[in-house]
Amino acid sequence: MNNCIILKFLFLVSMHSVLGQDNGKLVLEQNKLIGDCQNKYFTGFVIELDSNYAEIDALNFLNQFPRIGKINFKNRIQIPTEFTITERAGFPQIMFRFRSDYLTFDNLKIENQSISFTIDHDPEVPVTESDLKIIRAARSLLSEEKYWNKQDDRSCVDDLVNKTYSIYCALRISSLEIEEKYNHRNAALQKLRHLIHEKYPKRKWNHRLMDFNNMEETKFEDIEKILNDIEQYFIEELNKLEED
């Protein structure tokens, strides 16, 4: 087992703090990782490996992915799920999708035959061309201050009627326009949530997008800047993918 890789890997994950986590554990059983999790929707996971193993090696473990596994739900239904490795958070995480949400195994503690983890419900999500189009469409809706709805209520019907948009509704409407569906955890919305949290790390939010939009101190210039920052970030991320 490569101890240097394991120590570096565990140090990186220990530095990350996340919002909304559930605890879980995977246990090695020959060619599978089988485990349980404290979550209101699902109870555990099964991830199939490429062969039988006596113990978990950190390097070999990361090289296993992407893998097809299953999520075990409380109603005893098992759904095939793809588990992939992402480094969007700055270090390796196991990412999977539940409904329209991306989630990750985080704070991994790798032992000889088991892996303890938390599930991150607020992860960094891989950027796609659609996300860039969504941000640009939202910026178009909010091209001038007169089109900004300063009193968001998370209902976008009145925004459409009045042609004034909160930042949440601008992104929701743009998501539906570009992808013909609304994904509450797409990269555009997630990046916005994270930038808001970075700007106000000690503030308590009920709904980050709505509360940020409605704060007395939020000005239209703040809305413009944060959307511009996201667009530039997406351009850089997509350029990196093309280079790879």
DSSP notation for 159-194:
HHHHT-B-HHHHHHHHHHHHHSS--TTSHHHHHHHH
What average pLDDT does the segment 57-86 reach?
84
- pLDDT surpasses 50 at 64: yes
Which range, 14-18, 67-71, 124-128, has the best average confidence (pLDDT)? 67-71
CB 59 within 8 A of CB 2: yes
**CA–CA separation, 224 vs 141, rounded Å?**
11
What average pLDDT does the segment 199-205 reach?
88
Q: What is the pLDDT of residue 2?
A: 37
Taking only the tens place, the pLDDT of each residue in 118-166 is: 887 777 788 989 999 999 999 999 999 999 999 999 999 999 999 999 9
Predicted TM-score (pTM) of the model is: 0.64
What average pLDDT does the segment 89-112 reach?
76
Name the more confident of 124 and 203. Answer: 203
**CA–CA separation, 120 vs 23, rounded Å?**
10
Confidence of residue 21 (pLDDT cuts 50, 70, 90): low
Specify the pairing of strand 32-37 against strand 42-48: antiparallel
| Mean pLDDT of the residues in the chain | 83
3-state secondary structure of 62: helix
66-86: b (≥16 Cβ within 10 Å) or e: ebebbbbeeeeeeeebebebb
Give 57: exposed, middle or buried? Use CB within 10 Å, 0-12, 13-18, 19+: middle
**CA–CA separation, 191 vs 138, rounded Å?**
14
